[in-house]
Chains A and B, each alone.
Chain A
């Protein structure tokens, strides 16, 4: 990367972060809620992006993990435990269940795997709905408290938004490091060519399970934030359509791109709000927009950018080559 590109990239990052910190100060309650929702969904989508985008394992169960995390947080914090402890429980629980869900992936791939995870999603929903003693069934759990972080109460919308944003920042940093670590390269090896990865000595079995477990754990993190954000949960939001929505976010943003989930969640959470003026039509427009985008660029929005950058580089390279050739021929 040239120095100039690096500078612009850094500048864009700084502007984006500044905007995310400063703009919400003027937003009303609802705007803050939507932005917090965006941060939470981005975390969940990042987890799925690791499983699907980097490691290449299709999962239709991410919504179930958000549900598991949300219920873990809701049940424990209403019992008086601090959110941070509930978060740890949610992460461990989702990690363990995600690890187990990875086992089918060792046997079957692609659409079969999609259907196994889909079945898991439905089973999890049934448990949320039917196990009244634990989840209070269809009545849901209300009065979920918002935490006090380092002495700052986050019960008002703005501080809670900053909590979500901070968590998103933390998760992003860990993710950034993870996909650049040998593990991240192993995950990509799994996606590109499992056989070759194995022949190079990568324990594909362990990394497949890991990809599921870490991705699911991030779903749990998102859930543990979702519960105090809404302060009330019932089984309905965690049905299959959440898993499908999260999958759409990852693909629409660009699977396997670091910033894909950010964009995908923005489209899934914010676009319906912007289209609200169309009244009953907004989900239809949303569906049409998604189909249109996928027809134009199946690798998502970042896929378009990627294509543009590659094209420009190719053009620049061939221009250089042409210039070099002309110079070579001109010299006697």
Chain B
């Protein structure tokens, strides 16, 4: 039983990171029908940007700041202007393929300029354990959970309680109608891309101390995020968060109780079952009924 609790806490921590990535993924889909197959690489890259700034002699906090800003510029603004805008009118599939090519490009660029070796990455939370209700829980897991929860609360607040957030939601639901009532649709879409840039940088900051900075680590992260987004419900932020947590916990429990060899299979089977029996995702259908 005690072992189970540890597994669940660690799973929630990983799941919270998946949730951040998945939220960005669903936001892009809602705002501009972009299925970003490079989302995993988007998470891998900011850690290297931060490492590069640190190599230049900057302190860690400055590197974090610079990494986030660079990520928003490159992976938010740059991605939108150079790739999404010219391709969007051609439909979903060519754009999705272009993001696959982008994933290859980012991976190779990192491998070439930063090397193929995994590099260690400093953690924002000190290592060690902390006693909670008489149980030892790793500080890192707690720290990741706290930061991720704060980010999600902040994002939910932005989306639901502020004028900008409501305009963003209106843009996602019906761009034409949003334009008619005077919402600056273009600016809202740009904002969505910037938020995605911020979220992937944050996820990068949280996940890299655990898995090290490596050019190939984006693949698994991207896949986990796709699955989280689909399992929870492709069309809403809440679903992506629930899906991320679920996948994180399921993955961890599967490793312990099913088999380490087939741990990757459990989220996949979950995905297939959900798509076949509940294509809107776990939370999607429920909302449809209440509205």
Q: What residues of chain A have their CB less than 8 Å away from a CB belonging to chain B?
A: 58, 104, 107-108, 110-112, 114-116, 118-120, 122-123, 126, 129-130, 240, 244, 247-248, 251-252, 280-281, 283-284, 286-288, 290-291, 294-295, 298-299
A123 touches B98 (CB 8 A): no
B272 touches A120 (CB 8 A): yes
B92 touches A248 (CB 8 A): no
Q: What residues of chain B have their CB less than 8 Å away from a CB belonging to chain A?
A: 35, 37, 83, 86-87, 90-94, 96-98, 100-102, 104-105, 108-109, 111-112, 219, 223, 226-227, 230, 234, 261-262, 264-265, 268-269, 271-272, 275-276, 279
Q: Within 8 Å CB of A122, what residues of B?
A: 223, 264-265, 268
Scoring B104, B108, B269 by chain A CB atoms within 10 A of each residue's CB, the highest score goes to B104
Scoring A116, A123, A287 by chain B CB atoms within 10 A of each residue's CB, the highest score goes to A287
A115 touches B271 (CB 8 A): yes
Chain A residue with the shortest CB-CB distance to B29: A111
Q: Within 8 Å CB of A119, what residues of B?
A: 227, 268-269, 271-272
Q: Within 8 Å CB of A283, what residues of B?
A: 104-105, 108
A116 touches B275 (CB 8 A): yes
Scoring B90, B94, B111, B219 by chain A CB atoms within 10 A of each residue's CB, the highest score goes to B94
Q: Within 8 Å CB of A281, what residues of B?
A: 108, 112
Measured in the bound complex, the distance between the Cα atoms of B93 and A252 in whole Å is 12
Q: Within 8 Å CB of B105, what residues of A?
A: 283-284, 287-288, 291
Chain A residue with the shortest CB-CB distance to B97: A251
CB distance from A64 to the nearest CB of B (A): 12
A116 touches B100 (CB 8 A): no
Q: Within 8 Å CB of B230, what residues of A?
A: 112, 115
B261 touches A294 (CB 8 A): no
Chain B residue with the shortest CB-CB distance to A107: B276
16 additional contacts, CB 8 Å, given A251-B93, A280-B108? Answer: A110-B92, A112-B230, A112-B275, A114-B35, A118-B223, A126-B264, A247-B97, A248-B97, A251-B94, A280-B111, A283-B105, A287-B104, A294-B97, A295-B83, A295-B98, A298-B91
CB distance from A160 to the nearest CB of B (A): 29
Chain B residue with the shortest CB-CB distance to A122: B268
A107 touches B279 (CB 8 A): yes
B101 touches A294 (CB 8 A): yes
A291 touches B101 (CB 8 A): yes
A104 touches B275 (CB 8 A): yes
A244 touches B269 (CB 8 A): no
Q: Within 8 Å CB of B97, what residues of A?
A: 247-248, 251-252, 290, 294
Measured in the bound complex, the distance between the Cα atoms of B226 and A298 in whole Å is 24
Given contacts A122-B223, A126-B264, contact A298 B87 (CB under 8 A): yes
B93 touches A58 (CB 8 A): yes
Measured in the bound complex, the distance between the Cα atoms of B105 and A288 in whole Å is 7
A291 touches B272 (CB 8 A): no
Q: Within 8 Å CB of B92, what residues of A?
A: 110-111
Q: Within 8 Å CB of B94, what residues of A?
A: 251, 294, 298-299
Scoring B83, B105, B111 by chain A CB atoms within 10 A of each residue's CB, the highest score goes to B105
Contact of A295 among B37, B86, B262 (CB under 8 A): B86
Scoring B97, B234, B269, B279 by chain A CB atoms within 10 A of each residue's CB, the highest score goes to B97
Pairs A-B, 4 closest by C-beta atoms: A287-B105, A298-B94, A298-B90, A290-B101
